[in-house]
Structure 1
């Protein structure tokens, strides 16, 4: 019995990629590679821009910098293996390496959610209590909020690989997925996985419900404060500072929610559709976030133009 707990009997998993679309893997790898490169490039530009521009050394942009670093880590833990599957038929994944990828992916996703909550609080403080904004969101407080969000993710996801390591894996080793997702790995175990399933659902629901409730509360307070303003121009300006954050929330949570629901309740949803959505919510938000903030935030947009097109910036001045 002890052997069944300590030994898996399989040394690696076989990741199919996108079931039913194997013949198109070569072509699917092109947008994956493009998203990966754009995510790394875009988020690097955001980080460098914030670092070089003293006027951007504010809580809002510090959180954005954290989000950019987390997005780079998220795509780097996912895209290279996907490209290995799509382009080089590298379907085999060592058991422990698979668990490590699963751990990092889910940890970075929860950190992402925590940062979106922190950014919602930042907008609430800036719009609803502007006179106390500088004293509430000091640099040490911003750093602590980032660390608390990261620590929450690390501790919440840690039991997942530990619980999986206790399961016996005798013969099932084919994962119908493009990366090592928690429930996809759990389903292959040759034992009762009720604890694993219950814990996975509990973590996903608690994070999503709590974080979305905090974000919704922040924006209800923001809207109440904005509509109390007498000037239409002031209202537009206040809401304009939230536009990029709202876009990021929609881009991040919509495919994540769809993937979560279809994985557990969408029995009639084709596996290929589910996996495309599950992969897109790891690749698309990190790519889109820098574009959204670059377009919607004038300070970042102006600084980026100044970095890449100094002559144009000088002519405007």
Structure 2
């Protein structure tokens, strides 16, 4: 590992100033992703600015009736928070599905949103990768890609985003707040991750040197009946090969409102707008749920070894929607 400096930030403006003064520095939260990448040589910061002890570790009511989650709230605290479990249960379920208890105790909300892909070519510095070295190529297109993207990919990158938490946050229209030397700003999570296009190394819409300060969940009564379901290749903790965060408001047998996001299918959490349009105003039944899944997956462009994900995601989405609809009539 490359030698690096370490400095603990005293406050948010100080943290931003430290990074602005050293372009080779990186913010450090729990370190559960960044430190691993430093060990493999993928990340090589000259200085780490520790932000874990900043006063950003609370979950509290937002002025509009939603919830504001500080960037240094741990995954464990987020999943266990009574208001998160009551008002956004799919978010709690997603966090609990994401990692072991030890990792959840260390990992932070801000760091989770910024974690890098787990593509084997990205984490192997002996291999080309457009995310690490722009223009070097994407060997996954012709190589090992059975875990990779079926939606929104490009010839320049077919990796998927690994976060479970971000999938649920995307379904509930979360907004990311940040701070730069120029002041505060915010961006909806649906716009936070950039389309992969020709620049897969530019992963987020955060300005250079920005520090994530929190995530706001707007009020969403529909989210109280929500679910996160994850499919992985082993029962113990592993990254998803497909996941769904969904919420349904069903009254008199008709879907009044639907929220759906998919995970492990694209370079970013995938908001399933086509599925939501089919669901809204339609009968809450098997035919509608199948039509919604088919509408969303019509744009899928699988590679030779990951075509199974199309059927997997169709079945998974139909199953989750069916369970939510059945709960609505109990």
The TM-score, its normalising length taken from structure 1, stands at 0.29
Structure with more helix by fraction? 1
Bigger Cα Rg: 1
Greater length-normalized contact order (CA 8 Å, ≥ 6 residues apart): 1
TM-score (norm 2): 0.28
Specify which structure has the higher proportion of strand: 2
